[in-house]
Amino acid sequence: MQMKTRELTALGLLFALALILSFLEGLLPPVPFLPPGVKPGLSNIVTMYCLLYLGAGQALLLAVLKAGFAFITRGITAGLLSGCGGLLSIAVMLLVMIPKRHQASVFLLSVCGAVSHNIGQLAAAGLMVGGFAAFAYLPMLLVSGVVMGAVTGLMLRAVLPAISRLRGINY
């Protein structure tokens, strides 16, 4: 896959933005009513934008880069969880985008992406611990995926007009 300079620059900026959002999300205090490990997934807003406007190849590369960064900075477990969640999320969003007659909304893509991200992470955790005990957490992760996916979808929808003004295009 050969990228043009403009695409490579955009991907580099999006990767930096994803890392900044992930860092800022880590600074947020735990929310009392959320179960352990549940986060909004702010960097996934960047991944979704990349998928929608740069393409599947660049979004997959971004997910791999994010997983690699998680591996380098937080270890193999974080890298595997990030990679499995991110790649499954993109795959599911691509499947949702297949029917061309009805363009999937950003909101629907975000919810599907968040739920599948959680499932990918849970599957990786299940493989690491060697059993199905991790799947007891599935109902909580499904609900939190819907809620957090809705939040990130609404956030992406809110910033798209500003991005379009910067780029001079309409979404």
CATH of residue 44's domain is: 1.10.1760.20
CB distance 146 to 113 below 8 Å: no
> What does the buried/exposed string (b/e) look like for 98-107 if buried means 16 or more CB atoms within 10 Å of the residue's CB?
eeeeeebebe
Give the CA count within 13 Å in the CB-facing half-sphere of 42: 14
pLDDT in tens, the chain (171 residues): 566 888 888 899 999 999 999 889 888 887 777 777 788 889 999 999 999 888 999 999 999 999 999 999 999 999 999 999 999 999 999 999 988 766 778 999 999 999 999 999 999 999 888 877 778 888 988 999 999 999 999 999 998 888 777 665 544
The domain of 72 spans 5-167
If one counts the domains in the chain, the total is: 1
